[in-house]
Amino acid sequence: MSLRNVAAITGYAEFKSQKTADGLTPMGLTAEIARRTALDAGVSPGEIDGLLVTTPVAAYSMFWPSAVAEHLGLNLKYFDTVELGGASAAGMVWRAAAAIQAGLCDRVLCLTVEVPSADRNNSRKGMLRSEAVTEFEIPFGASPPNAGYAMVARRHMHEFGTKPEQLAKIAVDQRTSALSNPLALFNQSALTIDDVLNSKMIFDPLHLLEIVSPCVGGSAVLVTRQSLANRGPNPPVRLLGAGEAGSHLSTTHRQDITTSWSKQSAEAAFAMAGVSPGRVDLAQLYDCYTIAVLMAIEDLGFCPKGHGGPFVAERDLTFAGDFPCNTNGGQLSFGQAGAAGGMTHVVEGVRQLMGRAEARQVKGATVGVVHGNGGVMSDEVTLVLAN
Which of left, alpha, beta for 23 (phi over 0: left; psi -120 to 50: alpha)?
left
Amino acid at 224: T
CA–CA gap between residue 203 and residue 217 (Å, rounded): 26
228's CB contacts (< 8 A; 6+ apart) are 106, 107
8 A C-beta contact, residue 262 and residue 40: no
Give the per-residue pLDDT at 287. 98
pLDDT at 118: 55
Give pLDDT, residue 57: 85
Round to whole Å and give the CA distance between 309 and 305.
Answer: 10
pTM attached to this predicted model: 0.95
* Residue-level pLDDT at 49: 98
Distance between CA atoms of residues 95 and 242, nearest Å: 10
Residues of the chain with pLDDT under 50: 123-124, 126-128
pLDDT score for 127: 46
* Cα angle: 163, vertex 165, 169; to 5 degrees: 125
Query: In this predicted structure, what is the pLDDT of residue 90?
Result: 98
- pLDDT at position 265 is 98
Complete domains list, the chain, with CATH: 7-120+212-386 (3.40.47.10)
